[in-house]
Structure 1
Amino acid sequence: MERLTDLIHVSRETLDRLDRFVALFTKWSRAINLVAPSTLDQLWERHVLDSAQLYALDPRPRKWLDLGSGGGFPGIVMAILMMETEIGSVDLVESNRKKAAFLQRAIAETGARGQVHTLRIEAASQQLAGYQAVSARALADLERLLGYAEPWLAAGATGYFHKGRDYRREIDEARRSWSFDLLEHESMIDADSVILQIYNLKRIGG
Structure 2
Amino acid sequence: MGAAADVDKLEQHVNKYGDVSRETLRRLMVYVDLLLKWQKAQNLIAPSTIPEIWTRHVIDSLQTTWVMPDARVWVDIGSGGGFPGIVSAIVLADVAGAHVHLIESSQKKAAFLRAALRETGSKGTVHCGRIETVADGWDLGRVDGVSARALASLPELLALSRPFTSEGAVSVFHKGQDFQREVDEASHAWSFDLVEKKSVIDPMSRMLVLSNVSARPE
Decide which of 44, 47, 60 is 2:54's aligned counterpart. Answer: 44
Quick one: distance in 2 between partners of 1:152 and 1:49?
A: 26
Decide which moves more: 51-60 or 16-25: 51-60
Q: Name the Cα RMSD after superposition.
A: 1.3
Query: Which residue is 1:183 aligned to?
Result: 195
Query: Which residue is 1:161 aligned to?
Result: 173
Deviation at 1:11, TM superposition (A): 2.8
Query: Which residue is 2:6 aligned to?
Result: none
Quick one: distance in 1 between partners of 2:21 and 2:169?
A: 28
In the alignment of these two chains, the number of paired residues is 206
Deviation at 1:84, TM superposition (A): 4.1
Query: Which residue is 1:174 aligned to?
Result: 186
Match of 1:111, as an amino acid? G
Scaled by the length of structure 1, the TM-score of the pair is 0.95
- What secondary structure is seen at the aligned counterpart in 1 of 2:167? coil
Identical aligned residues as a percent? 47
Quick one: distance in 1 between partners of 2:146 and 2:121?
A: 21
Query: Which residue is 2:208 aligned to?
Result: 196
Match of 1:93, as an amino acid? I
Quick one: distance in 1 between partners of 2:23 and 2:127?
A: 26
Q: Does 1:122 align with 2:140?
A: no
Q: What per-residue deviation string (whole Å, max 9, x for no partner) do you get for residues 52-107 of structure 1?
A: 01222122251111000000000000000002423311000001101000000101
The answer (yes or no) to whether the contact 1:10–1:84 under 8 Å persists in 2 is: no
Quick one: distance in 2 between partners of 1:188 and 1:27?
A: 28
Match of 2:110, as an amino acid? A
Decide which of 145, 167, 171 is 2:157's aligned counterpart. Answer: 145
Decide which of 1, 7, 14 is 2:24's aligned counterpart. Answer: 14
Runs of at least 5 residues in structure 2 that lack an aligned partner in the other structure: 1-9
- What secondary structure is seen at the aligned counterpart in 1 of 2:88? helix
Match of 1:99, as an amino acid? K
Deviation at 1:8, TM superposition (A): 3.6
Q: What per-residue deviation string (whole Å, max 9, x for no partner) do you get for residues 114-161 of structure 1?
A: 111102111111134520100000110001111100111121100000
Scaled by the length of structure 2, the TM-score of the pair is 0.90
Query: Which residue is 2:44 aligned to?
Result: 34
Query: Which residue is 2:72 aligned to?
Result: 62
